[in-house]
Chain A
Amino acid sequence: MTSTTPVPAPALPRDAKQPRRGRRPRREGRDAWLLLLPALVPVALFSVYPLLQGIYLGFTDSEAGLNQVTHFTGFENYADLLDNELFWSSFRIGLIWAFSVTILQFVSALGLALLLNQPLRLRWLARILALVPWAMPPVVVAIMWRLVYNPNNGPVSGLSQLLGLGQLNLLGDFGTALPAVIVVGVWAGMPQTTIALLAGLQSVDPSLHEAAAVDGAGAWSRLFHVTLPELRPVIIAITSLNFIWNVNTFDLIYVLTNGGPGGRTMLPMLFAYNEAFRYGNFGVAAAMGNVMVVLIVGFLLLYLRSRLKGIRE
């Protein structure tokens, strides 16, 4: 399907800095296609095409099973979702989850990155520990925290019993389940955020700090007036990515609580997964996916617009 597309026009304006680049554009175009083909074909077949079809499915009554006839139903799925209380509850839980995890990840990772940027002893230990969650399968992270939260023999419940507060079932109680999984989300997402911020910190020009210090700025003042503004691009990038990833979280929660108790941790992805592969409502699940895309893109646009405006000023 890609072979019929014409080679890019040879009359591209030349880049003055790199005069050799446009030397043989026609040949380069062909070379580029050849080199890219092994990547393009599978991506088109197993990613672009399914994605387009998935978006379309959100506007149909597609169901699991053999010989199901699928009809285009327009916005019927969305109207149904609006009437579905479980959808709204999942939506709300998803927003609470995504915002709190993203914000807490950022704050705690920033604190850790600032510490790791200081000449402290035992820094290496924190550095390694900050990386380990990244190499762990999310399923294992979830199992590990189930052990920690276990009401009968976990350390959290043990401590509470020691203090005379009785058994604690953090993942099983309606009130504590969501905060408990949010802590796990923060733990699991700290590595990338910390590493990104640390890399940003190390590229901040030290002379800026010296100048600020000479002008009498204290540590806090330097943090807010030198470090954070310098880190701005990194912060915007990593928080945006974290937000997207957090909205799309599935595996952690599937193993930790599977949406329970009583749907208190039913994140949108889990809701959509159940609709699709437990109840066979492919159309409704895809519609849910579409809603999530609109939500993510909407928040990102708002966020990026407000942040980027700040940079220009």
Chain B
Amino acid sequence: MSIGRTSPQVRAGQYAALAAYVVFLGFPLVWLLSTAFKSTREIALGDSGLLPSSPTLTNFADAVDKANLFEAGRNSLVVALATTVLTVVVCLPAAYALARFRTILRPITLAWILISQVFPTILVIIPLFLILKQYRLLDALPGLAIVYVVFTLPFCLWMLIGFVAAIPRELEEAGAMDGASRLRILISIVMPLLRPGIIATALFAFISSWNEFLFALVLIQSPEKATLPLTLSRFVGAEGQVQLGALAAASLLATIPSLLFFALIQRRLSSGLLVGAVKG
């Protein structure tokens, strides 16, 4: 919308609006960050400013200590990594088949992807609870990972189908012409070109599993198997004035991995591999 010259008044208004957005979006983050570094005393006094008067790390020590943060973090990491790997492994061939083959499964799967978005989790979670109990997968991390795979799958498939469809068919046909088998075509031609898509899928699966709460709340019962969001939510219940700092510190620590993952993967995502492939 940069038509003509924008008048200084309009520009000023735009900057004011942008500043308002930055404050609204950024202020809670800054407050969380600063609370994590405030001393218990400073928090209890209640008149502290935006920045901690004497920054301290005791909250982090407390958080790791009292909230079983390491154990919960390890559980979360195990489940998230398992979910990520399984989702990608299961999604890749399925997305390829759905994008390339004319099969009756195509409309069925696409319809399911839409339907699965509409149904509230509560309808699925009660029978799931009973089924997992039957298979002795209740209160077990593998059971939770399976559930995460199943429920991140629709969206991941949706994404990957788009990525597969964007790969020119001619590349595969050229491979077939040169006598490559279908498997060979998949591994040597499709997979490398799909890297951005695979990365996006992995990112989505990891973050959704790392952040998920309701399934974990219902399907995990023992404290030693709790994932991070679960442990944090229990910590909230036990919070007194005293523990606010530790709560903030724990929350901050729990956010770092998915933020890192996001930052790491986002850069790779933008490298246009397809362009390179066609060029040479």
Taking beta carbons and an 8 Å cutoff, which residues of A are in contact with B? 8, 12, 18, 20-22, 25, 28-29, 31-36, 38-40, 42-43, 45-51, 53-55, 57-58, 62, 108, 111-112, 114-115, 117-120, 122-123, 125-126, 129-140, 142-148, 150, 152-155, 158, 187, 190, 209-210, 213, 219, 222-223, 227, 241, 244, 247-248, 250-251, 254-255, 268-269, 272-273, 276-277, 282, 285-286, 288-290, 292-293, 296-297, 300
CB <8 Å contact, A139 and B213: yes
Question: Which of chain A's residues have a CB closer than 8 A to the CB of B125?
Answer: 50, 54, 276
- Residue among A21, A142, A293 making CB contact with B123, cutoff 8 Å: A293
Q: Which residue of A lies closest to B151 (CB)?
A: A47
Q: Mark B95-133, 1 if CB is under 8 A from A, else 0.
A: 011100111110001001000111111111111100100
B53 on the interface (CB 8 Å rule)? no
| B1–chain A nearest beta-carbon distance, Å | 6
Residue-by-residue, is B1-28 near A (CB-CB < 8 Å gives 1, otherwise 0)? 1111010001000110110011011111
A45 to B143: give the CA distance in the assembly, Å: 13
Residues of A within 8 A of B232 (CB): 137, 139-140, 143
Q: Quick check: A219 and B182 within 8 Å, CB to CB?
A: no
Least distance between A142 CB and chain B CB atoms (Å): 8
- State whether A42 touches B146 (Cβ < 8 A): yes
Task: Mark the stretch among B54-62, B194-202, B247-255, B272-280 that contacts chain A.
Answer: B247-255
Residue of B nearest to A131 (CB): B262
- Give min CB distance, A226 to chain B, whole Å: 9
Contact indicator B120/A158 (Cβ below 8 Å)? no
Interface centre among B10, B18, B259 (most CB of A within 10 A): B18
- Give which listed residue, A12, A139, A152, contacts B233 with CB less than 8 A: A139
Contact (A285, B1) CB under 8 Å given A33-B105, A36-B93: no
- Cross-chain contact B98 with A139 (CB below 8 angstroms): no
B116 to chain A: which residues have CB within 8 Å?
A: 47
User: What is the bound-complex CA distance between A14 and B139, given in angstroms?
Assistant: 51
Q: Judge whether B236 and A209 touch: CB under 8 Å.
A: no
- The answer to whether A153 touches B43 (Cβ under 8 A) is yes
Nearest CB on B from A258, distance (A):
9
Residue ID in chain B nearest A139 by CB atoms: B229
- Is B127 a contact of A213 with CB atoms below 8 Å? no
Name the B residues within 8 Å of A282 (CB-CB). Answer: 126
- Give A146 Cβ to nearest chain B Cβ, in Å: 7
Secondary structure at the B interface, as helix, strand, loop or mixed, is helix
Residues of B in contact with A (beta carbons under 8 Å apart): 1-4, 6, 10, 14-15, 17-18, 21-22, 24-29, 31-32, 35, 43-48, 50, 89-91, 93-94, 96-98, 101-105, 109, 112, 116-128, 131, 146-147, 149-151, 153, 157, 169, 173, 182, 207, 210-211, 213-214, 217-218, 228-229, 232-233, 236, 241, 244, 247-248, 251, 254-255, 258-259, 261-262
A54-B31 in contact (CB<8A): no
Are B32's CB and A130's CB within 8 A?
Answer: no
Count how many pairs of residues, one from A and one from B, have CB atoms less than 8 Å apart in the complex.
273
Min CB distance B29 to A, Å, is 7
Output the least CB separation between B245 and chain A (Å): 10
A129 to B89, CA, bound (A): 32
For the complex, give the distance between the alpha carbons of A293 and B27 in Å: 36
Contacts of A254 in B (CB 8 A): 213, 217, 233
> How near does chain A come to B258, taking the closest CB pair, in angstroms?
5
**Which residues of the other chain, A, contact B90 by a CB distance below 8 angstroms?**
38-39, 42
10 A-B contacts (beta carbon < 8 Å): A31-B182, A50-B131, A112-B21, A122-B18, A126-B21, A135-B258, A153-B244, A158-B47, A227-B1, A289-B123
Asked if A54 and B126 make an inter-chain contact with CB atoms under 8 angstroms apart, the answer reads yes
Judge whether A150 and B101 touch: CB under 8 Å. no
Is the Cβ of B150 less than 8 Å from the Cβ of A46?
Answer: yes
Which residues of A have CB within 8 Å of B150?
42-43, 46-47
A16 to chain B, nearest CB (A): 14
- A51 touching B182, Cβ below 8 Å: no
Min C-beta distance of B181 to chain A, whole Å: 12
